[in-house]
Amino acid sequence: MEKFPEIVKFAIITVSTSRAKAKARGLDIEDTSGDIAEELIKERGFKVVYRDLIPDGIKPVRESLDKALRAGAEIIIFIGGTGITKDDVTIEAIEPLLEKKLDGFGDIFRFLSYQEVGSIAMLSRAMAGVYKNTMIFCLPGSTSAVKLGLTKLILQEARHIVYLLKRKGDANSYS
């Protein structure tokens, strides 16, 4: 009988042009949301196998996605670029690649966000889906959104998600 994995391998990719430019200039930058994500993941006994800070843009997002896949990530968390400004293109970079989209994640995330912050939650385009047998989550860049997404949703189901994605068996079976 197959079991849930003990350790889940995560990638954390923060999407922020201003921080990426500052980092490229050699400045000390803070990635508070990424740091919080890493801390929460490790507290659960999971592993971060890849971490990056990239500028907004289709190409940087997809290049970092490829690096995370090569690093062996089973769950990839994109932080930032999910809003409604012209620079927010994380969703546009990821969504066309998805083999399966999990609409329920975005719906529940916005519902939980609404309970915390009110109607501004409707501006979030948080989403999730499967690409190359890997789960991808796209979260807003705020620390509160990262905490909410990870603690209330992603980390609760991480082992189950990876189990389902790695499970061997008949594609037509429901067991």
- Mean per-residue pLDDT over the chain, rounded: 95
- In this prediction, residue 169 carries a pLDDT of 65
Spatial separation of the C-alpha atoms in residues 47 and 50, rounded to whole Å: 9
130, 75 Cβ separation under 8 angstroms: no
- In this prediction, residue 101 carries a pLDDT of 98
146 sits in the region (left: phi over 0; alpha: psi -120 to 50; else beta) called alpha
Domain assignment of residue 159, yes or no = yes
Residue 175 confidence class, pLDDT cut points 50, 70, 90: very low
- In this prediction, residues 59-79 reach a mean pLDDT of 99
- In this prediction, residue 170 carries a pLDDT of 55
85 sits in the region (left: phi over 0; alpha: psi -120 to 50; else beta) called beta
- In this prediction, residues 102-112 reach a mean pLDDT of 98
Domain assignment of residue 51, yes or no = yes
- Alpha-carbon distance values, 54 to 25, 36, 77, 88, 148 (Å): 13, 17, 13, 13, 22
158 sits in the region (left: phi over 0; alpha: psi -120 to 50; else beta) called alpha
Domain assignment of residue 28, yes or no = yes
Query: DSSP letter at 123?
Result: G
**How many separate domains does the chain show?**
1
Domain assignment of residue 4, yes or no = no
Q: 125: domain CATH number?
A: 3.40.980.10
- Alpha-carbon distance values, 34 to 5, 11, 16, 122 (Å): 24, 10, 11, 23
Domain assignment of residue 13, yes or no = yes
- In this prediction, residue 3 carries a pLDDT of 86
Residue 78, pLDDT > 90, answer: yes
Domain that holds residue 65: 9-166
Spatial separation of the C-alpha atoms in residues 169 and 175, rounded to whole Å: 9
Spatial separation of the C-alpha atoms in residues 60 and 64, rounded to whole Å: 6
CB neighbours of 97 closer than 8 A, spacing ≥ 6? 62, 65, 131
Q: Is 139 helix (H, G, I), strand (E, B) or coil?
A: strand
- In this prediction, residues 36-50 reach a mean pLDDT of 99
Domain assignment of residue 173, yes or no = no
Domain assignment of residue 129, yes or no = yes
Domain assignment of residue 42, yes or no = yes
